[in-house]
Structure 1
Amino acid sequence: MSQAGPILFVSNAQRPPFIAALDEARLFPVVDNDWASAARAVEQVQPAAVLAAMHVGHEPHLATLARKIADQSPYLPFVALEAAGTLPQNALPFSSRGGNSDRLVARLRAALRVRTLHATVLRRLPDAKVGLPEGDPARDATVLLIGRGAAYPALSVALGERVGVVGALSIEAAAKHLNTRDIDGVVLAEGFTARVTDAFLTVLAEDTRFRSLPVVVTAHQLAQTYDLPNLELIPGEPAKVAANALPLIRQHAMEAQLSRTLRSIDAGGWLDPRSGLLTVEAFARDFAKAVEQALARGGGLSVARFAFEPGNSRAQLDAARILSRLMRQMDFGVAQKDGSVIVVFAETDFRTAHMIARRLSAVMRHTSNGKYEMRSDPVVSVDSLSPSDTARSLLGRLSADASRAAS
């Protein structure tokens, strides 16, 4: 795999064999550096990725190196090898597990794809009517927590302080969430046999939709290797598991954010990079046109509004992401400034729209946030176009129905 720049390997000891294998296979040119001058080497070498061995002597320099790497643009992957303690927010954990260089190559390839995607977005942004969403991508991430053991509640809270959490007490429930939601990471906790864990990881590895998904296993040693480049074993206390899983989750959330931004650029800026739905301006334009055409042709048109508690922007974003994933190609929606989400169902009567809205609402209820404990249950209102309607009157009636339902 070619990339713009070498791999910087930071260590105060000799290269382990699995690092030397990267250079010998000519997959990546590797440049060695010690910890004391690692931050300066990032400026001088301009690497495409940084690998750092968490051995003796790294402690005084780790925070400085992590900050220097975080300041680079485009995204510079930072992989921490054999880390025992809590890592910086941008350090991807990696345990060699027997010195298998193939796992490290896969981890690097996945991270470098995100770097390339970031460079592509930055190149196209100056000519686009869209900007990159500001802030930490992890704030919008959603993690699937699967488990049944005593550590499950504590893990839910520890993860929920950092990201949105969808809980599943069974593998079957987890599979449903994976098929209906945008998930940025999976944490597989205790409560399952090694055989069940193996079967679940095998299914994930065989499905191309989930192959790059971060998967953290907390309670089992793995019986075999899996084609999951971001699979990692992180045992320990829930706070440590959450902290060290977060960099992998953040990288996936960033990749998803960049992909939505590219789609927005391709759509002329009419898609919101955070939600994946239309912008407010684009929705107003398309909705007016859809109402006009439905009235002229006599076709059906229904609208659903999902309203959330004031201030619960996380629930609104989660609902918007679910809608952007599940709605039909002929439908369109928007995340409104009042905290609601509206979706328009083309060629759909009231009864069918009500059934669809009820199913979508059921999916939305499962996300929790362990820090704020805010409910994600939406107030749902559905209405259909009548011959005397305009776009404004239909939306006005929908909002009035939602106000009555909430009171």
Structure 2
Amino acid sequence: MSQAGPILFVSDAERPAFVAALDEARLFPVVDTDWTSAPRAVEEVQPAAVLAAVHAGHEPHVTRLAKTITAQSPYLPFVALDAAGTLPHNALPFSSRGGNPDRLIARLRAALRVRTLHATVLRRLPEVKIALPQGDPARDATVLLIGRGAAYPALSVAFGECVGVVGALSIEAAAKHLNTRDLDGVVLAEGFTARVTDAFLTVLAEDTRFRSLPVVVTAHQLTQSYDLPNLELITGEPPRIAANALPLIRQHAMEAQLSRTLRSIDAGGWLDPRSGLLTVEAFARDFAKAVEQTLARGGGLSVARFAFDPNNPRAQLDAARILSRLMRQMDFGAAQKDGSVIVVFAETDFRTAHMIARRLSAVMRHTSNGKHEMRSDPVVSVDSLSPSDTARSLLARLSADASRAAS
């Protein structure tokens, strides 16, 4: 991958062999600097990525450098090599075990793709009147936690402090979540044999849908390499595992956020970059048109409303992401201002729509937040268009049905 700028390598010692190999392979020109000069070098060199050899005593320098890197635009990847302590929020962990430069090259290429995507979005934003989502991308991230050992509850709480958590006690359950949800990371904890772990990682590496996912293994040594650029072994106490896995998860969440923003730009701003569904205004327009055409031409049209606890706003977002992934191409929906999500099923009768909505709500129930012990249990109401309906009357009846169901 080409990039506008070199790789900045920060260290107070000589380059490790695996870093020197980057320069020798002419894939990434490498510029050296020491820790004292690193923040100034970032601003002067304008690198495409920063690598830093982190040793004991470097913590104040790491914090200062991370702050400088955060201020750069577009996204500037920061990879911390062999850090023993807790990393800053934007420092991607990397263990140089084995000294294999191929792992580092894969990690850099994955990060540089996010940088390129960010640059593309910034370039195209003036085309439509939409705003780039603000705030920490990790707040909207969802992580799949797989495990059944003693550390599982503590890991669930540690990750739940900052991201949504989908739990799985078996590899089979994990596979279902991987196929039905948009995930920003996988944490494979204890409770599985080395053989099962190897088989699971091999399957992930062979499926292009999951190859860029951050995958954190907490309980097994990795005895072979996998084609997973963001695979990392992180051990220790659950809070440290969560803190050092979070930068990889945040980068993936940012990539997903940017991809949705780009789709919104392509759609003329009618898609919500945060949820992936239509904006409220676009939904109202398309729903009125769909009702009008169905009444004129005949056929079926059904609507489902998924309402959530107003004290758990994360549940609405999670549901919207699930729906944007699983609903049919002919269907459309939007996250509403009252905290619900409404989906329109085109050419669908009431019975079929009810069955689809029940299946979708079953998927939504598996996400919880470890901090608040909240689950995403929606109140679901379904209704179908009748000859005397208008778009407004159908939605009003749907909301009334939801109110009765909630009470």
Q: Percent identity?
A: 90
1:12–1:57 Cα contact (<8 Å) kept: no
Per mean C-alpha deviation after superposition, the further-off stretch among 188-197 and 373-382 is 373-382
2:302–2:385 Cα contact (<8 Å) kept: yes
Give the superposition deviation at 1:372.
1.7
Per mean C-alpha deviation after superposition, the further-off stretch among 152-161 and 125-134 is 125-134
Is the partner of 2:209 in helix, strand or coil? coil
2:247 alignment partner AA: P
2:271 alignment counterpart: 271
1:180 alignment counterpart: 180
Give the superposition deviation at 1:103.
0.1
* C-alpha distance in 1 between matches for 2:390 and 2:341: 20
* C-alpha distance in 2 between matches for 1:318 and 1:392: 26
Stretches of structure 1 lacking an aligned partner (at least 5 in a row):
none
Is the partner of 1:98 in helix, strand or coil? helix
* C-alpha distance in 1 between matches for 2:361 and 2:372: 21
Aligned length: 407
Give the superposition deviation at 1:337.
0.3
2:14 alignment counterpart: 14
| Structure 1 residues 320-331: aligned runs within 5 Å | 320-331=320-331
* C-alpha distance in 2 between matches for 1:140 and 1:331: 24
Is 1:362 matched up with 2:352? no
Is 1:118 matched up with 2:110? no
Is 1:239 matched up with 2:229? no
| Structure 1 residues 257-406: aligned runs within 5 Å | 257-406=257-406
TM-score by length of 1: 0.99
2:60 alignment counterpart: 60
1:77 alignment counterpart: 77
2:129–2:269 Cα contact (<8 Å) kept: yes
TM-score by length of 2: 0.99
2:56–2:84 Cα contact (<8 Å) kept: no
Is 1:29 matched up with 2:29? yes
Give the superposition deviation at 1:222.
1.0
Give the superposition deviation at 1:223.
2.2
Give the superposition deviation at 1:374.
2.0
CA RMSD of aligned residues (A): 0.6
Give the superposition deviation at 1:55.
2.0
Is the partner of 1:51 in helix, strand or coil? strand
1:241 alignment partner AA: I
2:41 alignment counterpart: 41
1:304–1:343 Cα contact (<8 Å) kept: yes
2:209 alignment counterpart: 209
* C-alpha distance in 2 between matches for 1:147 and 1:359: 25
Displacement over 3 Å in runs of 4+: none
Give the superposition deviation at 1:46.
0.4
1:23–1:30 Cα contact (<8 Å) kept: yes
1:11–1:55 Cα contact (<8 Å) kept: no
Give the superposition deviation at 1:59.
2.2
Give the superposition deviation at 1:297.
0.9
2:366–2:375 Cα contact (<8 Å) kept: no
* C-alpha distance in 2 between matches for 1:185 and 1:5: 29
* C-alpha distance in 2 between matches for 1:72 and 1:344: 42
Residues 158-201 of structure 1 show CA distances to partners (whole Å, capped at 9, x for unaligned) of 00001000000000000000000000000000000000000000
* C-alpha distance in 1 between matches for 2:344 and 2:60: 56
1:109 alignment counterpart: 109
* C-alpha distance in 2 between matches for 1:215 and 1:57: 28
1:10–1:32 Cα contact (<8 Å) kept: yes
* C-alpha distance in 2 between matches for 1:220 and 1:194: 7
* C-alpha distance in 2 between matches for 1:388 and 1:148: 54
* C-alpha distance in 2 between matches for 1:339 and 1:35: 48
Stretches of structure 2 lacking an aligned partner (at least 5 in a row):
none
* C-alpha distance in 2 between matches for 1:404 and 1:151: 42
Give the superposition deviation at 1:127.
2.0
Give the superposition deviation at 1:57.
4.4
